Structure 1
Amino acid sequence: MELNSLTSTFTLLNGNKIPCIGFGTWQSADGDEAYNAVFSALKNGYRHIDTAAAYENEESVGKAINDFLASSGVKREELFITTKLWNNDHGYESTRKAIETSLKKMNLDYLDLYLIHWPNPLKFRNCWQETNAGSWQAMEEAYEAGKLRALGLSNFRQHHIEALLKTAKVKPMVNQIMVCPGQSQKELCEYSRSLGMLVEGYSPLGTGKIFSSEQMQNLSKKYGRSIAQICIRWSLQQGCLPLPKSVHEERIIENAEVFDFELEESDCILIANLTGLEIRQNRNPDEAPF
């Protein structure tokens, strides 16, 4: 599979194509910040936008998408839009309502991908298997109705996936987890892929702390590329779909310029095994306080 531009794609279990780099919007504030960032990303060639109900910016993200479509001549089917179910809305009926709420906020007829954001919310900690099954049923119905074009998970570990598969009729197509230098989550990635899921990696830059790494600074000099570009390229070479986020246009553009160089395998191993970085660690979803 050759990835050579922002419109290059991975193929999901159901045959749908997903652009190989997604534009992340976590921590992009609702209003002008999220709107301008998403519009800038789309204007500069991104075709895959990732948001979530929990980010509280779906309206601004949706407005940017619709304004871009109206002004650019690009067709809706050329874009890939993802949002996610928040923790308080698990269970069949609440999920049905949450899907409709996200569609309405974003002013979209359908979503290309819908994810359960976390597997074991505090609110449902004593019944997470049951509420996940109910949520998935509601998602399957929306999928069959054409409101959702693909279904997936986020932050699910193996035991959460195994529990879901006991009742799921439609197999999950994506597992979106934290993948960044020093945190490759190799076993979970391999398990997810063994079930046919594409792995998406959020926080591919380690929430910014990666820039202080001397090893990464040395690689930046070696390849003549920014540390961010090296992180994103590394994700792609791991077969992982990265979701870089920025609100600065020059960085949004720079983060997409990763298709004309390749990291040596020894450097990929070095990046995967980086230590001593003060980056946010993978949160245990069974202990998360939300």
Structure 2
Amino acid sequence: MVDNKIWGMAAIAVAAMILLVATGPPLSQLKLSVILAGTKGSFGDTHAHLSSGHDIPLLGWGSFHASAEDAVTAVQDAVLAGFRHVDTAKAYGNEEGIGNGLAKLFSEGTAKREDLFVTSKLWNDDHAPSAVLPALETSLSKLQLDYLDLYLIHWPSSLEAGPQVVPPFNEIWAVMESLVDRGLVRSIGVSNFSPEKLQILLKTARIRPAVNQVEVHCHWRNDRTVEWCKKEGIHVTAYAPLSSPQTMCLEHKDVPNLLKDKAVASIAAKHGKTVAQTLLRWGLQHGTSVIPKSTNPKHSQENQGAWGWQLPQEDYDTLSSMDFQLRYFDGGFVMNENGPYRSCEDLSGARDTDAVQAVKAAIKAGFRHIDDAEMYGNEEAIGQGIQELIRAGNVKRKDLFIVSKLGNNHHAPDAVLPAVQASLSKLQLKYLDLYHIHWPNSEEAGPEVVPPFNETWAAMESLVDRGLVRSIGVSNFSPEKIQTLLETARIRPAVNQVEVHCHFRNERVIAWCKKEGIHVTAYAPLSSPQTMSSMKKTVPNLLQDAEVAHIAKKNGKTVAQTLLRWGLQHGTSVIPKSSNPKHSQDNQGAWGWTLPQEDYDVLSSKKFQLKYFDGGFVMNKKGPYKTYEDLWNEPQP
């Protein structure tokens, strides 16, 4: 919490600054000694005392997404506006620009080094113990500083492949501690660490982390982490305190904009404040320091208006009880099917709130077929969302068709039952309507598939016998691989879930499965261009295809509805993914109409054909699938 005990003298300083701005030289020529008059040493509620013995300013200037060029003037404007806490990182690529800006302030006598609190961060590719000191020295050189006030491990990931974090946290932390011993850093901490990961670090730490910098705003209160850190004496700095809606556009997330929220605007107007000032004030009263990013001098000045007032308890409570909760910066770039973090839950240690809301919105929109998998890492969240609706009487279990999938590392016959039991436990269900073998690959090295398909399938059949699963099937299986399985199958696969869309019609697999009485479920029916972007594949976007848009308009439908309708008429069930309630409702518009034959034929004859999800992660020179053709039993389109 932050109150206002020192504002008598500070008000005089601010008044003096305003007078000078109105009647004297431009802001860039003001001397910091005027701005600081009467406040030196009076930390009070403007700073938090860290476990390291140092004090951190509660209102900081964030530089994320500021270019090196923009950062030169932006950091000067921020300091002149009153900011004393400057946050940067190697990953932001602007340390040199910030260093040039600070050097100018120091050389002009506008600011003193001892009056500023400067933070930077160790990037993921410098986690090797031998790389930490050089990384810091590079940051100090670019920033033109002799020491940092705070140095953070930016993410709990080194981007190394494999099931374990390499190097372990304790090895990196030991080197971070040595930076304090050398006098190069005054405080050390972490960023984007869950309580569980901090606990691992604390087991061997000689110097406790002073700070954990994490995402916190009214749409992601992050209460679990904030409360745990408070209990452990670890200060929390909130990044994205305004929720960074512009950044979310870059992340392809359609999310509410806190800066345009009517409830926030009403509270702001009531107190004669801007929405940004109100959101920052909430962050301060939420027990965190806040680092809003800005390259706009007016915004930097405006953000200082978070000081000098209090949100009444009722308004604080209103902002603290917003139903929409979503971690905007979910760390997706460090998640990897073959790495230590396969899901948001692996990384954050918390339930994926996005999935809880998404499945509830989907069911409320009319969906009754819910598709999940062990590999997606969100079964617990999906289960939570489903159970909340069942308890509320919105839906009955018998009305839902719930699917999950066996992970590649559970193909051993004795691992299949425990795997489905784990999925059922997370989903809070007694049975699954359908259980798939997710990929025809067990991740075992060697030229042969181990165990053979028929052994895994026999264990799948036993799940039906036990009443744990009503139907069993496969996913990403070619006709040839299903044929191998059928040679000994007692229960035939009910479904083959494969990629199907207008840019990959997958006609060979569909025709073969139809002949064999195996239903095909089409995943990625909209072609998932955003997913392809994250996989660094440049492909045409069906959702922006002019021909599809023309057909959609002609039939009075959206592009998504048109593509889903094509999938249904192509003989498949379709499972479009969406975490957006509006998109879930829109997708229901695939029902109640039919594409005229001429339109269906146009969509069925697109020349561009490409399997977007080619299974590259299971191809291995030492494994059974060395090439695309080995895995799919057909030439690459």
The TM-score with structure 1 as length reference comes to: 0.84
Distance 1:250 1:115 in 2: 29
Q: Distance in 2 between matches of 1:270 and 1:29?
A: 40
Q: Secondary structure at the match of 1:206?
A: coil
SS of the aligned residue for 2:497 comes to strand
Question: Which runs of 4 or more aligned residues in structure 1 lie more than 3 Å from their structure 2 counterparts after TM superposition?
Answer: 27-30, 124-127, 275-279, 281-288
1:262-281 per-residue CA deviation (whole Å, 9 max, x = no partner) reads: 11222212212223478825
**SS in structure 2 at match of 1:255:** helix
Distance (whole Å) between structure 2 residues aligned to residue 112 and residue 125 of structure 1: 34
Shift of 1:211: 1.6
Who is 2:607 aligned against? 275
Q: Deviations over 1:118-140 (max 9, x none)?
A: 11344266332743222211111
Query: Aligned partners of 1:73, 1:180: CA distance in 2, in Å?
Result: 32
Query: Which residue identity is paired with 2:559?
Result: I
1:71 aligned partner: 392
Residue of structure 2 equivalent to 1:214: 546
For structure 1, which runs of at least 5 residues remain unmatched after alignment? 1-26
Are 1:147 and 2:468 matched, yes or no?
yes
Aligned with 1:72: secondary structure? Answer: coil
Report the equivalent of 1:8: none
Structure with greater contact order relative to length (CA < 8 Å, sep ≥ 6):
1
* Corresponding residue number in structure 2 for 1:158: 479
> CA shift at 1:141, angstroms?
0.8
Q: How does 1:234-245 map to 2 (within 5 A)?
A: 234-245=566-577
1:41 and 2:373 are equivalent in the alignment = no
| Amino acid in structure 2 at the alignment position of 1:39 | K
Q: Counterpart in 2 of 1:11?
A: none
Structure 1 residues 283 and 35 mapped into 2: Cα distance closer, same or farther (>3 Å)?
Answer: same
| Paired position in structure 2 for 1:250 | 582
- State the SS of the aligned residue for 2:589: coil
Residues of 1 paired with 2:417 and 2:469: CA distance?
12
User: Does the 8 A contact of 1:206 with 1:279 survive in 2?
Assistant: no
In structure 2, distance between residues paired with 1:60 and 1:68: 13
Percent of matched pairs sharing the same residue: 32
Matched, 1:194 2:515: yes
Looking at structure 2, the residues matched to 279 and 200 of structure 1 have their Cα atoms a distance apart, in angstroms, of 15
Residue 101 of structure 1, aligned match among 394, 411, 422? 422
Aligned AA (1:217):
A
Cα gap change, 1:269 to 1:182, in 2 (>3 Å): farther
* Kept after mapping to 2: 8 A contact 1:111/1:148: yes
Q: Supply the distance in 2 between the matched residues of 1:161 and 1:70 (Cα, whole angstroms).
A: 40
- Return the index of the structure with the highest Cα Rg: 2
Which residue of structure 2 lines up, in the alignment, with residue 227 of structure 1?
A: 559
Distance 1:167 1:121 in 2: 19
- Tell me if structure 2 keeps the 8 A contact 1:28–1:247: no
State the 1:216 CA deviation: 1.1
Structure 1's 177 and 78: CA in aligned 2 closer, same or farther, altered over 3 A?
A: same
Q: Judging changes above 3 Å, is the alpha-carbon distance between structure 1 residues 166 and 72 closer, same or farther for their aligned structure 2 residues?
A: same
Structure 2 counterpart of 1:230, which letter?
T
User: Does the CA-based 8 Å contact 1:210-1:279 persist in structure 2?
Assistant: no
Per-residue CA distance 1:224-275 (angstroms, 9 max, x = gap): 2111000100011112100011111111000011222211222212212223
Aligned counterparts of 1:41 and 1:263: Cα–Cα separation in 2: 24
Q: Does 1:264 align with 2:596?
A: yes
Distance, in Å, in 2 between the alignment partners of 1:94 and 1:66 is 27
Larger displacement relative to structure 2 (235-244 or 28-37): 28-37
**Residue pair 1:91, 1:133 contacting (<8 A) in 2 also:** no
2:373 alignment partner in structure 1: 52
Instruction: Report the Cα distance in structure 2 between the residues aligned to 1:269 and 1:282, rounded to whole angstroms.
Output: 26
- Alpha-carbon distance between aligned partners in 1 of 2:415 and 2:609, rounded to the nearest angstrom: 39
Decide which of 476, 495, 503 is 1:182's aligned counterpart: 503
- Deviations along 1:17-45, one digit per CA (max 9) or x if unpaired, are xxxxxxxxxx9955110110001111122
Q: Which moved more, 1:269-278 or 1:134-143?
A: 269-278
Equivalent AA in structure 2 for residue 100 of structure 1: Q
The alpha-carbon distance between structure 1 residues 134 and 279, as it changes in their structure 2 partners (threshold 3 A), is closer
Report what 1:6 is aligned to.
Answer: none
> TM-score scaled by structure 2?
0.40
Contact conserved, 1:201 with 1:241, CA < 8 A, in 2? yes
Structure 1 residues 53 and 112, CA, compared in 2 at 3 Å: closer, same or farther? same
Q: Mean alpha-carbon deviation: is it higher for 256-265 or for 52-61?
A: 256-265
Give, in whole Å, the separation in 2 of the partners of 1:145 and 1:61.
Answer: 24
Show structure 2 runs of 5+ residues with no match. Answer: 1-341, 346-351, 530-540, 619-624, 632-637
Residues 411 and 451 of structure 2 are in contact (CA less than 8 Å); yes or no, is this contact kept in structure 1?
Answer: no
User: Contact 2:505/2:609 (CA < 8 Å) preserved in 1?
Assistant: no
**Residues 269 and 247 (structure 1 numbering): CA distance in 2 closer, same or farther, change over 3 Å?**
same
Structure 2: distance between partners of 1:103 and 1:42: 19
- Cα RMSD (Å) of the superposition? 2.3
Aligned equivalent of 1:171, options 492, 500, 516? 492
Secondary structure in structure 1 of the residue aligned to 2:474: strand
